[in-house]
Amino acid sequence: MKLPPSFKPLSSEPRILKCFACGSENESPINAITLLCLHCGRPVDLSDYEVDTFHSRSIQTYGEVYVGVRGKYHGSKLVAGRLIVHGTLDAPYEAHEMVLGKVAHLTSYGSQHSLHVLSGSRIKLQQVITAREAFISGFLETIGGLRITGTIVIRKGATLIGKVEAHAIKVEKGGRYEGQIVIEGHASLLKDDANTKNNR
């Protein structure tokens, strides 16, 4: 699975992981491949999954879940450290990093710390997406809107269409933004955005 080099391995630093069964916090050592909850003894899943067909069994892991173009996850809430969706996610989700590519299709709500839209993707989202930060490298049309408490970065060659609320927005040269925008804080960054629009 190829991701841009800005993505780090998920297990590169010690982390505090909540047990999916009892909710207790466990410290996970660097590069751990399995972890047993110190409180209830149940395994805390750190493994990676690939969903390439119809999949209805529940996945809750701190590892990576990859949903391919022909994959469809249709189960209870999907929990992942990193969730990469090129196909269909037909369930609520919770991910630290949410990565959307190709023709990703989301039918439900979810939560994420960071949102990434990969280059070469063409994505339309109906629901409101809330995240700490967003990196747009492909085409994203948001009907519900994006609510980003930190910064949105629109990279070269990327397009973002729709309502956006953010603390700051950074539009790289060659990036495109169309829609309503509400910026809290950095007025100067909003001006940069206006310049980019005029130059395109």
Instruction: Write out the residues near Zn ion by the rule CB under 5 A.
Output: 19, 21-22, 24, 37, 39-40
Rounded least distance, CB 17 to Zn ion, Å: 10
Rounded least distance, CB 42 to Zn ion, Å: 5
Whichever of 35 and 146 has its CB closer to Zn ion, that residue is 35
Whichever of 1 and 36 has its CB closer to Zn ion, that residue is 36
Which residue pairs from 95-101 have beta carbons closer than 8 angstroms and sit at least 24 positions apart in sequence? 96/10, 97/7, 98/131, 99/3, 99/7, 100/138, 100/140, 101/138
For 141-190, give the DSSP string: EEEEEEEEEEEEEE-TT-EEEEEEEEEEEEE-TT-EEES-EEESS-HHHH
Whichever of 21 and 128 has its CB closer to Zn ion, that residue is 21
Pairing of strands 49-51, 64-67: parallel
Phi, psi of 23 (to 5 degrees): 85, 0
Rounded least distance, CB 22 to Zn ion, Å: 3
Rounded least distance, CB 44 to Zn ion, Å: 7
Whichever of 28 and 159 has its CB closer to Zn ion, that residue is 28
Whichever of 1 and 22 has its CB closer to Zn ion, that residue is 22
- Do residues 117 and 133 touch, judged by C-beta distance below 8 A? no
DSSP conformational letter for 193: H
Contacts of 41 (CB under 8 A, 6+ apart): none
**Which residues is 17 bridged to in the sheet?**
26
Rounded least distance, CB 77 to Zn ion, Å: 17
Whichever of 77 and 173 has its CB closer to Zn ion, that residue is 77
Rounded least distance, CB 45 to Zn ion, Å: 12
**Which residues is 140 bridged to in the sheet?**
123, 160
